[in-house]
Amino acid sequence: MRKKRTPIMLALAGLIASMLTFVSSGTASAAEYIPQLRWNAVDSHAYSTTVTDPAGGVTVPCDSAGPNNLKSYDASGQIVRELSSSQTIDGRPNCIQRPVVDKNGVLYGQSYGWNGSNSAHGTNLLAYEGNGLKWKYPTGCTDADGVDPSIGANGNIYFVNGSSQLVGITPEVEPGTVQPKKVLSVNLTSSRCSRTIAFNGGIAVFKDGSTIANFYTYAGTSLGSKDGKSANMPVSATGRLFYPTYTSESGGGRSVSISAYNALNQQVVWTRKVSVPGAYVSDASMRPAPDGGTFVIMRENEMVNGALTSTQVNTVVKLSATGEKVWSKTLPSKDAYGVTYNPSNYRALVGTSGKLVLELSAQAPVSNGGWGVNAVTIKVFDGGGTVVYDKHMHGDLSGGNGDYGFTYDANAVISAGTLYVRSHCDSNSCDGVKLYPIAIPNVGLDYPRGAVFNVDELEQSDPVRPLPVPYVALGDSYSSGEGVEPFAASSNTSTNKCHRSDLAYAQLAARNPGNGLRLDQGGFWACSGARTKHITGVWEAEDTSDGVNLDEDPQADHLNENTGVVSITIGGNDIGFGYMVESCAYPTRDCDGAIDLANTNMSFLEVLLQQTYIEILNKAPHAKVYVAGYPPILTADGGGCAVGEAGSDYPFFTEGRKQKAVEVLNALNAKILENVDTVKSVNADFFDRLHFVDATAEGSPFIGHDVCSDDPFVNGLILDNQLASFHPNAKGQAAYAELLARKIREVDLGGQDNDGEVDPDDCPIC
CATH number at residue 529: 3.40.50.1110
Which residue range(s) make up the domain with 477? 468-573+601-631+683-748
Between the ranges 4-13, 226-235, 248-257, 508-517, where is the mean pLDDT highest? 248-257
The reply to whether the predicted model has a pTM over 0.75 is no
- The answer to the question of residue 322 being in a domain is no
152-195 confidence digits (pLDDT tens)? 988 999 999 999 999 999 999 999 999 999 999 999 987 888 88
Q: Report yes or no: 288 and 447 within 8 Å, Cβ to Cβ.
A: yes
- The answer to the question of residue 387 being in a domain is no
Report the relative pairing of strands 281-288 and 418-423 from DSSP bridges.
Answer: unpaired
- pLDDT at site 650: 56
| pLDDT of 205 over the 90 cut | yes
Distance CA 595, CA 425 (A): 78
- pLDDT at site 760: 36
- The answer to the question of residue 558 being in a domain is yes
DSSP string, 596-646: HHHHHHHTTHHHHHHHHHHHHHHHSTT-EEEEE----SS-SSSS-EE-B--
Q: How confident is the model at residue 546 (pLDDT cuts 50, 70, 90)?
A: low
- The answer to the question of residue 380 being in a domain is no
Q: What percent of the chain has pLDDT over 70?
A: 84
- pLDDT at site 644: 64
| pLDDT of 313 over the 80 cut | yes
* Residue-averaged pLDDT of the chain: 83
- pLDDT at site 457: 35
Distance CA 192, CA 143 (A): 11
Distance CA 620, CA 538 (A): 18
Q: How confident is the model at residue 117 (pLDDT cuts 50, 70, 90)?
A: low
Give me the catalytic one of 45, 394, 558, 727: 727
593-625 confidence digits (pLDDT tens)? 999 999 999 999 999 999 999 999 999 999 999
Q: What percent of the chain has pLDDT over 90?
A: 47
Report the relative pairing of strands 565-568 and 624-628 from DSSP bridges.
Answer: parallel
- The answer to the question of residue 68 being in a domain is no
57-89 confidence digits (pLDDT tens)? 999 998 877 778 999 999 999 999 999 988 999
Cα-based distances in Å from 309 to 300, 301, 302, 339, 363: 10, 6, 6, 19, 21
Distance CA 391, CA 335 (A): 12
Nearest Cα residue to 664 out of 639, 697, 636, 637: 636
Catalytic (active site) residue 725: no
- pLDDT at site 191: 83
- The answer to the question of residue 332 being in a domain is no
Alpha-carbon torsion (163, 166, 171, 176), positive or negative: negative
212-240: string of b/e by CB count within 10 Å (b at 16+)? ebbbbbbeeeebeebebeeeebbbbbbbb
| pLDDT of 425 over the 70 cut | no
- The answer to the question of residue 657 being in a domain is no
- Lowest mean per-residue pLDDT among 92-96, 489-493, 503-507: 489-493
433-469 confidence digits (pLDDT tens)? 889 999 998 888 999 999 898 744 323 333 334 557 8
Give me the catalytic one of 48, 477, 480, 725: 477
- Lowest mean per-residue pLDDT among 377-386, 536-545, 560-569: 536-545
9-51 confidence digits (pLDDT tens)? 333 333 333 333 332 222 333 356 789 999 998 888 766 778 9
> How many structural domains are present in the chain?
1
699-717 confidence digits (pLDDT tens)? 999 999 988 888 899 988 8
Catalytic (active site) residue 164: no
Average pLDDT over residues 101-110: 94
SS3 content of the chain, % helix, strand, coil (to 5): 20, 30, 50
Alpha-carbon torsion (721, 726, 727, 728), positive or negative: positive
What are the phi and psi torsion angles at 487 (to 5°)?
-105, 155
- The answer to the question of residue 174 being in a domain is no
